[in-house]
Amino acid sequence: MQLSQSVAVERREEPGLGVAGAIWVDNPPVNALSQHVREGLAAAVPAVARDPEMQAAVLVCRGRTFIAGADIREFGKPRLPPDTNEVRRMIEKSPKPFLAAIHGTALGGGLEMAMACHFRVADRNARLGLPEVKLGILPGGGGTQRLPRLVGVPRALEMITSGEHITAAEALDLGLIDAVASSEEEGGLEAGAIRFALRAVAEGRGLPRVRDIESHRDVRENPTIFSDFRRRIARRTRGFNAPEVCIQCVEAAVELPFDEGLAREAELSRTLHADPQSRAQRYYFFAERAARKIPDIPADTPVRDIRRVGVLGAGTMGGGISMAFANAGFPVSIVEQNRDALDRGLATVRSNYERSAARGRFTIDQVEERMGLLDGGTDQNALAECDLVIEAVFEDMELKKRVFGQLDRITRSGALLATNTSYLDVNEIGAVTGRPEDVVGMHFFSPANIMKLVEVVRGEKSAADAIATAMSISRAIGKVPALVGVCHGFVGNRMLFQRRLQADRLVLEGALPWDIDRVLYDFGMPMGPFRMSDLAGLDVGWNAETSSSSTLREMLCERDRRGQKTGRGYYVYDPATRAAAPDPEVMDLARDLAGRLGIEQREIGDEEILNRCLLSSVNEGAKILQEGIALRASDIDVIWINGYGWPVYRGGPMFWADEFGLDRIVDILDDYAARFDADQWQAAPLLRETAAAGGRLSG
Ligand code: 3HC
Ligand code: NAI
C-alpha cells in the first residue's frame, strides 16, 4: 500500500515467525527526509498499528542507501509538516516494534530516525554517522540526546563534533546497532531484518526505547569529561561555532530529563540554523559536488582504467603523491634520477608513515603494506606498464619537456600523462609529445598525502576522457578535484600571489609581519604568510650570487635568516620549543629598504591589512572567472578551502566576497586605486558589472 509519493508498506510473512510490515522508502538519490518521506513515515505508524496481523515493522530503503539525512535543499525554506521529530516520536511510541534496516549510509536525520526505532540492524558494509557539524548545524532530530545514551558520552562527543562515519562493525561494538546482517544472506537485508524483528517479538523483548537509557554514568565516573574534551578538540575546531554547541547539547543529555534535553537541542539547533557559518558550510556542501560537473563532459563519459600509477621524482611532492595512491591501495612505480635521491625519497615516505603509525592513525602492519605497494627505481622503463604517470620533477620547463618526450616514447598508448607543475604551461608540455590529448595537469598540494585538493588542469588538447579520468581517480584516492584552465599559477597560486604581493608591500609601508599573520590567523587561516615562508624556507628560489638586497626576503637570506631551519627568518625561533617570537631587526631591515625605495612608512590598521590581503585575491578570482580559467566561482572556493586552509565556515573567498558585499568591495578597490597603485587595484570588469547589477559571483 502506497502511503505517500515515496513511502509504501508491504505485508511480509516469515514462515514460522509471523507477519511484519516492510516500510519502503524510495526517494532517490539518497532517500533524504523530504516532506513526502516524512508524510509517508507518519502514516506508516498507524497503518502498522491498525493491521491485526502485523507484529512489527521494518524500515528499509530502496536504492543505494538508507536515509542519508534531512533534505538539505529544504533548509532555509519554510518547513512543511509533518515535523521530523514528530514522526520520530510516533515511531518511538508505536505499540508495535519498529526496526531500522540499514544499508549504505545512515546519516544525520537518517541515523536519528533509526535511533528512534526500537531495534537497528545494519548491512556489514553500512556506515553510520551524524555529519551535521560539517554543515555548521547540530543533529537536531534527537541525535545529541539519543547517541550518548546508546554509545556513551565520550564516543558520542567524538562522533557528533567530528561528523565522521563509523562502520557497522564498530556500531555493533558500541551498541549503536543490535546486529549486523548481510545483504547476501537469504532474502537479503530486508528478510534478515524481518526475521530479527519477529524473533524479538517472539522472545518478548518488548519496545526498548533509547530515551529510557540512563545517560549520566560516564560523567559519574569521569566528572571532567566535557572540559577535557573541549581542550582536546580546541585546535581542530578553532573558529567553528557548531562543535561547542554540539557539546552543550550532549551536556544537556546528561543533565536533563530526555524531553527537556530535546527541547534544549531544538533551541540550540535554531541558533545554528540561523548562523552565517551554517549558510557558508551548506553552500560548500553543494559547491564540492558542483565542482565534479563539467558542462561539456557528461557524467557518463567512460573513464580510463587505472591500475598501476607511475610517479616521476621522489621529492616533496612525488613522495606525498605516491603515499596518496598507496593509501588508496594502488601499486606505484617511483622513478628518480639517481639512487641517492630515490633512497632519500623512500626514507622520507617511510618515516612519514611511521610517524602516522606512532600517532595511532594506522598499524605497523599497514605501514609495511603501503611501503610494499611502492616500487622504486631509476629506470624510466618501469613506467611502461603504468596507466597513469604523474611527473613531479623540478619546476623547470626544459626538464619537464625532456621528461614528457621520454614518457611519450616509453608509456603505453592510452596512458594518462599528468604534470604536477605549480605554474608552467601544460599546453607547452603536452606539445612535446605525439599525444597531447593524453596530457593533463594534476596539481596536488603539499603535503600531498594529506591535502585534499587536486587542481585538474585542462590543456587545450586534453581529451574529455583524460579529464574525466583525472577527476575520477582524484576522487578514488579521497581527494577533492576542481577543474582549472591553463595560466600562470592556475587558480589557487595565481590568487595567492596577489595576497603575497600585498603582504610584502604592507610590511614596507610599515605593517608588522606578525600583525599581518595575526590578522589572517584570526580570520581563520591556519597560518599567516610570514610564518608560512619561515616554515617553507625563505631561500626557495634564492640565489646567493645574484642576491642584491632588493627585497626584504633577499635581505633576510643574505643574513642567513632563511626561516625556521636556521632558527631565524621573519621570526626568531626558540631552539628548545621552536616557539616563534617577533624580531625588531626585521623591522629595521624593512625600514631601511622602504627608505631606499622611497616608500613612506605609516601605522596600518587591521582592517586595511585584511582588506588588502583578501580583496586583492578576490579581484584576481573575478578575473580568473571572467577568463574562464575556473568554470564557476564555487570551484574557486573549493580550491581555497581544500588547498589553502581557507576556513570553510566562511565559504571560500568568492562566497565571502558576496557576503561582504560586492558594491562595498568595488568602492574599496576604487579607493585603493586612487591611493596606491592604479593598475594593481583596477577592479575586475566582472566584479564591477556584477556589483552594479546587484548580483553575486557565487550564486
Ligand atoms: N539532502 C539533499 N540532497 C542531498 C543530500 C541531502 N541530505 N545528500 C546528498 N544529496 C544530493 C547531492 O547534492 C547530490 O546531488 P547531485 O547529484 O544533484 O549533485 C546527490 O544527492 C548525490 O550525492 P553525492 O554526490 O554526495 O553521492 P555520494 O554517493 O558520493 O555520497 C552521501 C552519498 C554519503 C549520502 C553524501 O551525499 C552525503 O554525505 N550526504 C549528506 C549527508 C548529511 O549531511 N546528512 C545530514 C543532513 S542534516 C540533517 O540530517 C539534520 C537533522 O539532524 C535534523
Ligand atoms: P623537490 O625538489 O622536492 O623534488 C623534485 C625531485 O625530482 C627531486 O628528488 C629530483 O631528484 C627529482 N628529479 C629531477 N629530475 C628528474 C628526472 N629527470 N627523473 C626523475 N626524477 C627527477 O621538488 P617538489 O617540491 O617535490 O616539486 C616537484 C614539482 O611539484 C614541481 O613542479 C613543483 O612546482 C610542483 N609542486 C610543488 C609543491 C610544493 O609545495 N613543494 C606544491 C605543488 C606542486
Smallest CA-to-CA distance from 308 within 400, 374, 407 is with 374
What is the percent of the chain with per-residue pLDDT over 90, rounded to a whole number? 95
- d(CA 316, ligand 2 centre) in Å: 7
- d(CA 313, ligand 2 centre) in Å: 6
- d(CA 446, ligand 2 centre) in Å: 11
Write out pLDDT tens, residues 337-393.
Answer: 999 999 999 999 999 999 999 999 889 999 999 999 999 999 999 999 999 999 999
Residues 548 and 535 sit within 8 Å (Cβ to Cβ): no
Write out pLDDT tens, residues 433-442.
Answer: 999 999 999 9
pLDDT for 117 equals: 98
- Out of 27, 61, 72, mutate this one to test ligand 1's pocket (max ligand atoms within 8 Å of CB): namely 72
Residue having the nearest C-alpha atom to atom 34 of ligand 1: 105
Q: Which residue has the higher pLDDT, 220 or 690?
A: 690
State the chain's mean pLDDT as an integer: 96
**DSSP codes of every residue in 659-685:** HH-HHHHHHHHHHHHHHS-TTTTPPPH
Write out pLDDT tens, residues 183-195.
Answer: 667 778 999 999 9
- Residue type, position 317, single letter: M
Estimate to the nearest angstrom the gap between the alpha carbon of 151 and the chain centroid: 26
Give, in order, the Cα–Cα distances in Å from 321 to each of 305, 309, 391, 445, 694.
19, 10, 10, 9, 43
Residues 279 and 308 sit within 8 Å (Cβ to Cβ): no
pLDDT for 362 equals: 87
Write out pLDDT tens, residues 24-80.
Answer: 999 999 999 999 999 999 999 999 999 999 999 999 999 999 999 999 988 888 889
pLDDT for 183 equals: 65
88 grid coordinates:
520520530
Any ligand 1 atom below 6 A from CB of 109: yes
Residue having the nearest C-alpha atom to atom 52 of ligand 1: 109
Q: Is it the case that residue 640 has pLDDT exceeding 70?
A: yes
Q: In this structure, which ligand is nearest to the CA of 38?
A: 1
* Distance in angstroms (rounded) separating the CA atoms of residues 616 and 275: 27
Angle at 239 between CA 502 and CA 68, to 5 degrees: 120
pLDDT for 524 equals: 98
- Residue type, position 681, single letter: W
Ligand 2 nearest-atom number relative to CA 344: 9
Q: List phi, psi (to 5°) of 58.
A: -120, 125
Please report which helix (H) or strand (E) contains residue 228, including its range: helix 225-233
Known catalytic residue at 112: yes
* Distance in angstroms (rounded) separating the CA atoms of residues 313 and 393: 5
Protein residues whose CB sits closer than 6 Å to any atom of ligand 2:
312-318, 335-337, 341, 345, 392-395, 399, 403, 420-422, 444-446
The whole-number average pLDDT for the span 247-272 is 97
3-state secondary structure of 514: helix
53 grid coordinates:
496481523
- d(CA 96, ligand 1 centre) in Å: 31
- d(CA 694, ligand 1 centre) in Å: 31
519 grid coordinates:
590578522
Estimate to the nearest angstrom the gap between the alpha carbon of 301 and the chain centroid: 25
554 grid coordinates:
633577499
Q: Is it the case that residue 415 has pLDDT exceeding 90?
A: yes
Give, in order, the Cα–Cα distances in Å from 126 to each of 65, 502, 557, 610, 659.
9, 49, 55, 45, 38
This prediction's pTM: 0.95
Please report which confidence band the pLDDT of residue 182 belongs to, taking 50, 70 and 90 as the band edges: confident
* Distance in angstroms (rounded) separating the CA atoms of residues 615 and 603: 20
Report the residue count for the chain: 699
Write out pLDDT tens, residues 598-637.
Answer: 999 999 999 999 999 999 999 999 999 999 999 999 999 9
Residues 465 and 301 sit within 8 Å (Cβ to Cβ): yes
Known catalytic residue at 132: yes
Write out pLDDT tens, residues 650-672.
Answer: 999 999 999 999 999 999 999 99
Q: In this structure, which ligand is nearest to the CA of 395?
A: 2
Q: Which of 14, 53, 92, 132 is catalytic?
A: 132
Residues 621 and 690 sit within 8 Å (Cβ to Cβ): no
Residue having the nearest C-alpha atom to atom 43 of ligand 2: 445
pLDDT for 651 equals: 98
Angle at 444 between CA 438 and CA 445, to 5 degrees: 165
The whole-number average pLDDT for the span 145-150 is 98
Smallest CA-to-CA distance from 15 within 265, 283, 198 is with 198
Write out pLDDT tens, residues 571-597.
Answer: 999 999 999 999 999 999 999 999 999
Q: Is it the case that residue 498 has pLDDT exceeding 70?
A: yes
Residues 643 and 552 sit within 8 Å (Cβ to Cβ): no
pLDDT for 181 equals: 87
Helix, strand, coil % in the chain, rounded to nearest 5: 50, 15, 35
Write out pLDDT tens, residues 287-334.
Answer: 999 999 999 999 999 999 999 999 999 999 999 999 999 999 999 999
* Distance in angstroms (rounded) separating the CA atoms of residues 25 and 87: 14
